[in-house]
Amino acid sequence: MIRDEKLIFEKSVEGRIGYSLPENDVPKVDLEAFYPDEFLRKTDPELPEVSEVDVIRHYTNLSKRNYGVDSGFYPLGSCTMKYNPKINEDIASIEGLAQMHPLQDPQSAQGNLEILYNMDRYLSEILGMERVTLQPAAGAHGEMTGLMIIKAYHMHRNDSKRVKIIVPDSSHGTNPASAALAGFEVVHIPSDERGCVDIKALESILDDTVAGLMLTNPNTLGLFEEDILKISKMVHACGGLLYYDGANMNAIMGIARPGDMGFDIAHVNLHKTFSTPHGGGGPGSGPIGVIKELVPFLPVPVIEKVNDSFVPDYDRPLSIGKVKSFYGNFGVILRAYSYIRTMGAQGLKAVSQAAVLNANYIRKKLEDYYEIPYNRTCMHEFVLSAQKQAKSGVTALDIAKNLLDEGIHPPTIYFPLIVQEAMMIEPTETESPETLDNFIEIMRQLAVKAQDDPESLKNAPKTTYVSRLDEVKAARTPVLRWKK
């Protein structure tokens, strides 16, 4: 590893250039004459002055301090860090698809609109929904969109007393946050001892102030809500709508569908289930599907097929409007489209089967070493607890940091909040049994060490570019930018 401590700004040398632009070939405008003086910049922004070589080396070397799915195992629970097929990257950079302006005349963008239209069809089929909007930029954004639709639906019926959204405590954190942001009152319900929605508790709060319920399913414990049909019937019975957080669709593709479960709205995360890369933080894409009754409320435009031509339809009086510019994250959608077209129905089902088998395999192999709070057949992921280890002073954090030294990305830790010392493990279907076995072996060794020699686990990571970082300091006295 090359140690290069500098920021790109610290490599700047006055007068050095890294760009290659065409020479200006039109008359020059005298800025001072054309613009009022106070509009013109007085001090240059502190951008670095570096050569192309500098830039390439800087970011290439930075990349080496980062771990991606192509580096190795990445069982980050809830994030579905599956392998991102390379062909999809190639597809996304076909100039004839990518170099398109969103406001072009639809007649000149029929290829892209056809992709969007078909993607709506495919995802509708996968979710068991009527139509899908591809506009939301991420899962959380899909949730917001769904909640706006719930609101619009009730308001359209002049039912303005429905102000509550019910959210089980095993739901993903974005669920309550989105509900709050959409202007709802969030009502939590606890999980029962099996890790599922407590039906009694649910029953007790259902009334005509309930706008809807948001269910992460499989939930953040990796469990399928066994009473899901009961739940959807109960909520519908009281007049509420049902929102399905389908970020965990990787567990059930081709096996079961939110629409069939009685849900009215569901989102999927293309950047998880549909193998588009997460880009170190994004971009993602969080399409939502809705049942027939809710189609009028979808954001505009909806792409319609009219006589073999694809037309963005803006004339939708009940639409909630727009939740994002243009058509959504087309570049991400393209990759997911490619994925669906290469996998087909049987491929997607095989994905879910393998994902679930892999998770259960690890669960089974670790159950003698770690506490597993809800230890039964899980879906695509499960949550273990390092509480046993914590007794000898070794926390989930310590275990995670030791995994770093073994070349493995740790599971999600301290999430979900309802499990203490949680480690949420999601292997995905793209990992081989050998990779799983290697992980299991290391996890077992760590469990043994936690008992025999807990101190030995406190100094990890030792092999990374930096050792443990002081997060408290970062938050107390935030340094959020470089200054000259």
Ligand X SMILES: Cc1ncc(COP(=O)(O)O)c(C=O)c1O
Question: Which residues of this chain interact with its own copies, rule CB under 8 A?
Answer: 1-4, 11, 13, 16, 20, 51-54, 56-57, 60-61, 64, 70-72, 83, 85-87, 342, 407, 430-432, 434, 463
* Residues 293-309: b if buried by 16+ CB within 10 A, e if exposed: ebbbbbbbbbbeeeeee
**What residue 330 binds from another protein, ligand X, its own copies, none (CB within 5 to 8 A, per partner kind)?**
another protein
Report residue 426 as tokens. Answer: 């999601």
Cβ neighbours of residue 421 under 8 Å, at least 6 residues apart? 385, 386, 387, 389, 390, 395, 396, 414
Buried/exposed code over 445-465 (b: 16+ C-beta within 10 A; e: otherwise): ebbebbeeebeebeebbeeee
**Complex with ligand X: residue 403 or 424, whichever CB lies closer:** 424
Q: Is 139 in the site for ligand X (CB under 6 A)?
A: yes
What's the one-letter identity of residue 278?
A: H
Judged by CB under 6 A, the chain residues 221 through 260 that form the site for ligand X are: 245, 247-248
User: Looking at the chain, how many residues does it have?
Assistant: 484
Q: Which does 39 bind (CB under 5 to 8 A by kind): its own copies, ligand X, another protein, none?
A: another protein
Q: Which is nearer to another protein, 451 or 456 (CB)?
A: 456
Please choose, out of 225-233, 234-242, 386-394, 442-450, the segment that lies near another protein by the rule CB under 8 A: 225-233
Window 101-120: residues binding another protein (CB under 8 A): 101-105, 107-112, 114-115
Question: Using the rule CB under 8 A, is 226 a contact of another protein?
Answer: yes
- Answer with the entry of another protein, ligand X, its own copies, none that 2 interacts with (C-beta below 5 to 8 A by kind): its own copies
CA 311 – CA 458 distance, rounded (Å)? 60
Shortest gap between Cβ of 224 and ligand X (angstroms)?
A: 13
Least distance (Å) from ligand X to the CB of residue 105?
Answer: 32
Check residue 193 for interaction with another protein (CB under 8 A): no
The phi, psi pair for 8, rounded to 5°, reads: -60, -30
Report CA-CA distances (Å) from 371 to 4, 219, 283, 363.
42, 19, 35, 10
The conformational region for residue 279 under phi > 0 = left, psi -120 to 50 = alpha, else beta, is: left
1 binds, among its own copies, ligand X, another protein, none (CB under 5 to 8 A by kind): its own copies
Peptide bond into 301 cis (omega under 30): yes
CB of 285 to ligand X, least distance (A): 8
Q: How far apart are CA 111 and CA 88, in angstroms?
A: 17
- Minimum separation from the CB atom of position 36 to another protein (A): 8
Distance in angstroms (rounded) separating the CA atoms of residues 37 and 331? 40
Task: State which residue, 54 or 371, has the beta carbon closest to its own copies.
Answer: 54
Q: Using CB distances below 5 to 8 A depending on partner kind, what does residue 321 bind out of another protein, its own copies, ligand X, none?
A: another protein
26-55 residues in contact with another protein (CB under 8 A) are: 26-29, 31, 34-36, 38-42, 44-55
**In degrees to the nearest 10, what's the CA dihedral of 146, 151, 156, 161?**
150
Q: Is 190 in the site for another protein (CB under 8 A)?
A: no
Contact string 56-95 vs ligand X (x = CB under 6 A): ----------------------xx----------------
Distances (CA, A) of 192 to 10, 11, 200: 55, 57, 9
Q: Which amino acid is at 398?
A: D
Task: Using CB under 6 A, list all residues that contact ligand X.
Answer: 78-79, 138-140, 172, 174, 216, 245, 247-248, 269, 284, 286
